[in-house]
Structure 1
Amino acid sequence: LPLYQGGVFLRRIFGKHKQILLFILEQAHSSVERAGLLGGVKLRTLSPDSKRSLRGDTLRAAITEDREKGLIPFYVVATLGTTSSCAFDNLDEIGDVCQDLGVWLHVDAAYAGSAFICPEYRYLMKGIEKADSFNFNPHKWMFVNFDCSAMWLKQPRWIVDAFNVDPLYLKHDQQGSAPDYRHWQIPLGRRFRSLKLWFVLRLYGIENLQKLIRKHIALAHYFEELCIADERFEVVEEVIMGLVCFRLKGDNEINETLLRRINGRGKIHMVPSKIDDCYFLRLAICSRFIEESDVRESWEEIQAAANEVLQ
Structure 2
Amino acid sequence: MNHEEFRKNAHAAVDWVADYLQQIEKYPVKSQVAPKDIYDQIPPSPPGSGEPFEALMSDLDSIIMPGITHWQHPHFHAYFPGNSSYPSVIAEILTAGIGAQCMVWETSPAAAELEERMMEWFKEMMGLPTDWHGVIQDTASTATLTALLTAREWKTDFQSNTKGVTERKLRIYCSTETHSSAEKAVKIAGLGSENLVKIPVDGEMSMVPAALQKAIEADMAMGYTPCMVISAMGTTGTLAFDPTKQIGEICRQYNIWFHVDAAYAGSALVLPELEWLREGLELADSFVFNPHKWLFTNFDCSAYFVKDKEALIKTFEILPEYLKTKTRGQVNDYRDWGIQLGRRFRALKLWFVIRTYGVDHLRSTIRTHIGYGAWLANQIEKDSHFELLTPQKLNMVVFRYSASDKSTEELNTINESILTQINQSGKAYITHTKVNGMYGIRVVLGQTRLEKNHVKNLWGLLVKTSDESSH
TM-score by length of 2: 0.64
Cα drift, residue 71 of structure 1: 1.0
* Selected match of 1:294 from 444, 447, 454: 454
Aligned twin of 1:261? 421
Alpha-carbon distance between aligned partners in 1 of 2:148 and 2:304, rounded to the nearest angstrom: 17
Mark the runs of 5 or more structure 1 residues left unpaired by the alignment.
none
Aligned twin of 2:291? 138
* Selected match of 1:214 from 345, 363, 367: 367
Contact 1:19 1:71 in 2 (8 A): yes
Larger gyration radius, structure 1 or structure 2: 2
Contact 1:25 1:48 in 2 (8 A): yes
Identity, in percent, stands at 36
SS for the counterpart of 1:119 is coil
Q: Which amino acid aligns with 2:144?
A: L
Between the two proteins, the alignment pairs up a number of residues equal to 311
Residue deviations 1:168-190 (CA, integer Å, cap 9, x gap): 22101111111111112232221
**Counterparts of residues 271-290 of structure 1 (less than 5 Å):** 271-290=431-450
Aligned twin of 1:24? 174
Residue deviations 1:65-110 (CA, integer Å, cap 9, x gap): 1111111110000111111111111111001100010000000001
Return 301-310 or 133-142, whichever deviates more.
Answer: 301-310
Alpha-carbon distance between aligned partners in 2 of 1:281 and 1:297, rounded to the nearest angstrom: 16
Contact 2:144 2:261 in 1 (8 A): no
Cα drift, residue 54 of structure 1: 1.6
Cα drift, residue 6 of structure 1: 6.0
SS for the counterpart of 2:377 is helix
**Counterparts of residues 66-145 of structure 1 (less than 5 Å):** 66-145=219-298
SS for the counterpart of 1:120 is coil
Aligned twin of 1:2? 143
Residue deviations 1:189-241 (CA, integer Å, cap 9, x gap): 21111111111110111111110000000001111111122211101111121
Contact 1:13 1:162 in 2 (8 A): no
SS for the counterpart of 2:423 is helix
What stretches of structure 1 move > 3 A for 4+ residues in a row?
A: 4-14
Cα drift, residue 140 of structure 1: 0.6
Q: Which amino acid aligns with 1:198?
A: W
Two-structure CA RMSD over aligned residues (Å): 1.6
Alpha-carbon distance between aligned partners in 2 of 1:13 and 1:198, rounded to the nearest angstrom: 39
Cα drift, residue 7 of structure 1: 7.0
Q: Which amino acid aligns with 2:182?
A: V
Residue deviations 1:4-36 (CA, integer Å, cap 9, x gap): 456755476532325111101111111111001
Contact 1:80 1:125 in 2 (8 A): no
Q: Which amino acid aligns with 2:451?
A: E
Q: Is 1:239 the equivalent of 2:392?
A: yes
Aligned twin of 1:36? 186
Cα drift, residue 246 of structure 1: 0.8
Contact 1:76 1:105 in 2 (8 A): yes
Contact 1:243 1:285 in 2 (8 A): yes
* Selected match of 1:159 from 307, 312, 316: 312
SS for the counterpart of 2:432 is strand
Contact 1:7 1:38 in 2 (8 A): no
